[in-house]
Structure formats: C-alpha cells, structure tokens
Structure 1
Amino acid sequence: MFDGLQDFADWLIYSVFGIGADTHLGTALNFFVFDTLKILILLFFIVFIMGIVNAYFPIERLKDYLNKKKLYGLEYFFASVFGAITPFCSCSSVPLFIGFVQGGIPLGVTFAFLITSPLVNEVAVAMFLGMFGVKATLIYALSGILLGSVGGWLLGKMNLEPLLSDWVKEILENKMQQAAYQDEKRSFRDRLPEITRGAWDIVKGVLLYVIIGIAIGAAMHGYVPENFFNQYLGGGQWWTVPLAVLVAVPMYANAAGIVPIIQVFVAKGVPLGTAIAFMMATVGLSIPEATLLKKVMSLKLIAIFFGVVTLCIILSGYLFNLIL
C-alpha cells in the first residue's frame, strides 16, 4: 500500500544523501521519512473521509445508539475486531482516533479500537503463524482483541471525556454549532471545500506532534540494539514480564516489524509469553504515540490510558507463559 513511499525514502536517504542502509543513522532517517509521509497522508485522508461521513450520515444517531442501546459490551468487541483488521501501527491509529472522537463515537469504544489496532494485523498474524505455529498465533490474535475489548470497557467506565484536550473540545463544539445551521441539501461539490479545509486544519494542528513523535521513534528504531534486551528478559523470573513491558514503552515499531525480533528473543531463551508482552507493549504503547496523543488528550488521560493498557499487557504476559 505504501511501497512507493518506502521506495522514495530509500532513494532519498540511501541514494541522494548517500547514507548507508546498514548504518544506525541511515536506518533511523529512512524510518523517519517513511513514517512521517505515511502518517500525514493517512491523517489527511482519514479525517477527510470522516468529514464526509459527518456531513452525510447520521453520526449523532449512531452515537445515541451506542450510548443507549444495551449491547452488553459487544460495541467494544466490534471496535476491537475493526482495529484488528486495520493494518495500522499505534501512531497511524491516532488519526482514526481523532476521527472517531470527532464523529461522536463513545470514548471507551474508541479506546478499544486504539488499543487493538496496532496489536493485531494480518501481516503479523501470517508471520506469527509461520514462526510460532497455530496455537501461539491464535492466542496472540484473540488476546489482542480481548485486550482491546477489556481495556476499552474499563476506560469507558471511567467517564474520561472531560480529560480530552481543549483542542478536541473546540472541534466538537464547532461541529455542534455547524450542525445547527448546516444546509443538508447542499451538494457534495459545495461542501467539498469546507470538508477539505477542516481536514487540513486538523493536519496542521497535529503536524508538530507527528514530527516530534516519529523522530523519537526513529531514534529508538535505529540506535537501540536487540541484544541489549536478551540478557535481561531470558531468565523467566516473575519480574521479567513487567520489565519487558516497561522496557518496550520507549521503543516504536509496528507488529509486523517486531515479530522477527520476537523470534530472535525466543531463540535466545526469552519465554514466548514474555516476548509477546514485549511486542504488545512496543506496538501498543510508545513515547511517540504518547507525543501524538498529547494533542488530543490531557496528560492525566494519557497516563490513565497507558496505565490500564500496561496492566492488561502484564497480566496477559503471565497468562501466556502459563499456557504456552
């Protein structure tokens, strides 16, 4: 889907600037260029599409349905399944989070998507199947969906909407004001400039956070050696699971990118459950993601979100080590 962007990043860093692909700097800069372009493009088009949805479809009715209809938690499960089938890393999922919040989807349901989307995708499942077999793959995929559902449900019960950033509150307030006088009979052509401006305004609003977040992730991706972790996570002691999760938070990679590293961990003696917990924390919790989320959440909300997901991942890691 983004092969052209990867080719451009390879050409720019390795050919134009002449930085070697086997160097830390080359790896970091290539990662930065590719992910910056990918996320900005995703952000614009996702918010643009959500603008069209907001203009033509009864988002308020969907919001009322999710808030009032007794779905017995299935709304969190559906959001997690949707997250599992969308091939986004944690930072790529943030644009969808903004769109969901803007569209009036309940915050807990939105969190269920945000948690699961980076954890599970079809590429990682295929790689997991080839490297670790059917049993480990099923546990990985189902636990990712369950983790998103439970985490979203817990966060949804905390009534965290007041902890959204002022920027998001302003977007939601403006949306409500526009809805009061919006002419539903306007053609798509008439609405297109307004929808495009709205999408571009959101892109400009988070641009600095995107660049800072990806820069941090690129540095981690290029300079942190794999062998640094093997010696500390391979003993199987009770504290290795929480240590793996805490160490993984500063890292940044998507699920497909981290699976080969997990295979190396397991080959060197790291328990598979501990390795999966490390993978989930790497792709589901990261400093770059927190930097991006700072634009849409208060620090307190980010801390609550990370705390709940961290606890769920640690418990999952212990469970994996018992089962696998």
Structure 2
Amino acid sequence: MFDWIQHFADWLIYSVFGIGAETHLGTALNFFVYDTLKILFLLFLIVFLMGIVNAYFPIERLKNYLNRKKLYGLEYLFASTFGAITPFCSCSSVPLFIGFVQGGIPLGVTFAFLITSPLVNEVAVAMFLGMFGIKATLIYTISGILLGTIGGWLLGKFNLEPLLTDWVKKILENKMQQDEYEEEKLTFRQRLPDITRGAWDIVKGVILYVIIGIAIGAAMHGYVPENFFGAYLGGGQWWTVPLAVILGVPMYANAAGIVPVIQVFVAKGVPLGTAIAFMMATVGLSIPEATLLKKVMTMKLIAIYFGVVTLFIILSGFLFNILL
C-alpha cells in the first residue's frame, strides 16, 4: 500500500542526496522520510474518515452499546482483535486513537486497540510462523490480543478521561456543540468542507509531535546496532526479561521489521520468551510514541499507560520462557 512512499524515500535519499543506503545516516534519513509521509497521510485519512463517520453515524448509540454491562468486557476483546488485524505500528496507531477519542469511544476500549495494534498484525504473524513455528506464533498472537484486552479493561477502570489534554477536551466539546446545532439533513457535499477542514486542523495540531517522534525513532533505527542488545540478553537469568523490556522501550520499529531481528537474537542464544518481550516493548511502547501521545495525553496519563503495559509485557516474557 505504501510502496510508492518507500520508492520516493529511496529516490530522495539515495539518488537525489546521494547518501549511501548502507550508511547509518542513509538508513536513518530514509526511515524518517518514509515514516513521516506515511503517518501524516494516515493521520489525515483516518481523521477525515472518522469525520465522515461522526457526521453520519449515531456515535451515541455506539457508545451506549460499548458501555452495556451485558457485553461482560467483550468490547475490550473486540477492540483488541480489531487492533490485531490492522497493520499499524505504534506511531501509526496514534491517529486512530485520536479518531476513537474524538468519536466518543470509551477510553479503556480505545486503549485496548492502542495496545494490540502495533503488537500483532498479519505480516508479523506470517513471518513469525515461518521463523518460529505454529506454537510460538499462537502464543505470541493470543498473548498480544489478551494483553490489549486486559490492559484496556484495567486502564478503563482508572477513570482516566480527566487526564486527556485540553486540546482533546476542546475537540470533544466543540463536537458536542456541533452535534447540537447541526442540521441533520445536510448532503455529503455540504458537509465535506467542514469535514476536510476539521481533519486538517487536527493534522496541524499534531504535526510537530509527529516529526519530533519520528526523528527520534529514525536516529535509533539507524544508529543503534542489533548486537548491542544480544550481548546482554543471552544469559537466561530472571532479570534479562525486565532488562529486555527496558532496552526495548526507547527503540522504535514495527512488528514486521523487528521479527528478523528477534530471529538473530534467538540464533545468538537469547531465550525466545525474552526476545518476544523485547519485541513487544519495541513495537508496543516507544519514546516516539510517547512524543506523539503527548498531544492527546498528559504526562501522568502517558506514565500510567506505559507503566501498565510495561508490567504486562514483563509478565508475558516470563510466561513465554516457561511455555516455550
């Protein structure tokens, strides 16, 4: 889907600027150009589509449905499963998070999606199956979905809505006022300018955070060597799992990109469970993601979110090492 962006990034960095693909700088700049264009495109597209949904779909009915007690928590499982089938990395998931919050979806349910979306996707599952077999793939996939389900449910119990930023609260307030006074029978053509303008306003509001976050991720992607981590995680001691997660959080990669690295880790003696925990921390939590989330969450909310997910990933790593 995004091959044209990759071709453009390759052409710009390697041909126009003449920076070698094998250099750290070339790798980092290529990553930066590709991810910046991809995420900004996704951000505008998703927010634009959510604007159409908000204009025509009775979002209050969806909110009431998701809040019904008779679902017994299945709304978190639905959101987590939806996250698993969407091929987004952690930073690409942030635009959907904004769209969900803007659409009035309960915050805990939105967190369930945000946790699982970068952890599990069909490309990573296919690669995992080919490299590690069906048992490891099933454990990885099911645990990723359960991690999002339980994490979203737990975060939903904390009543964290007041910890959203004023920017998000203003969006929600304006939407409520718009819903009160907007004519219901406007045509799509009549609604389109407002929908487009609203989407662009949101993109403008987060574009600086997107660029800063991706720049941090690109620097890590281009300059941190793979063997740096393998040297410290191969002992199998109890503390290697927490260490793997702590080392993984500052990194930034999508699941499909990190699976080959995990294969190298395992080949060099790192236990598979420890390697998976590192992968989950890398794709599910990252400094670039935190930078992007800063626009929609206060630092306290980001700390709570990162803390809960980090704890769950560490526990998962221990469980993986037992089962695998």
Fold shared per TM-score above 0.5: yes
Q: Distance in 1 between matches of 2:177 and 2:124?
A: 43
Q: Distance in 1 between matches of 2:121 and 2:244?
A: 22
Q: Deviations over 1:270-300 (max 9, x none)?
A: 0000000000000000000000000000000
Q: Deviations over 1:37-68 (max 9, x none)?
A: 00000000100000000000100111122123
Aligned to 1:269: 269
- AA aligned to 1:37 is L
Aligned to 2:305: 305
Identity %: 87
Q: Distance in 1 between matches of 2:132 and 2:47?
A: 37
1:117 and 2:117 aligned: yes
- AA aligned to 1:272 is L
* SS of match in other structure, 2:251: coil
* SS of match in other structure, 1:70: helix
Aligned to 2:189: 189
| Shift in Å, 1:306 | 0.2
1:257 and 2:249 aligned: no
1:221-232 paired onto structure 2 within 5 Å: 221-232=221-232
- AA aligned to 1:308 is V
TM-score for both structures, normalised by structure 2: 1.00
Aligned to 1:22: 22
**Segment drifting more, 68-77 vs 186-195:** 68-77
Q: Deviations over 1:107-128 (max 9, x none)?
A: 0000000000000000000000
1:101-250 paired onto structure 2 within 5 Å: 101-250=101-250
Q: Distance in 2 between matches of 1:236 and 1:7?
A: 41
Q: Distance in 2 between matches of 1:320 and 1:164?
A: 34
Q: Alpha carbon RMSD of aligned pairs, Å?
A: 0.5
Q: Which runs of 5+ in 2 are unaligned?
A: none
Q: Distance in 1 between matches of 2:4 and 2:132?
A: 31
| Shift in Å, 1:231 | 1.1
Q: Deviations over 1:48-97 (max 9, x none)?
A: 00000000010011112212342111100000100000000000000000
Q: Which runs of 4+ in 1 moved over 3 A?
A: none
Q: Distance in 2 between matches of 1:67 and 1:178?
A: 23
Q: Distance in 1 between matches of 2:69 and 2:181?
A: 28
- AA aligned to 1:179 is D
TM-score for both structures, normalised by structure 1: 1.00
Q: Deviations over 1:183-210 (max 9, x none)?
A: 0101000000000000000000000000
Figure out how many residues of one structure are paired with residues of the other and give that number.
324
Q: Deviations over 1:229-254 (max 9, x none)?
A: 11110000000000000001110000
Q: Which runs of 5+ in 1 are unaligned?
A: none
Aligned to 1:51: 51
Q: Distance in 2 between matches of 1:66 and 1:131?
A: 38
Aligned to 1:83: 83
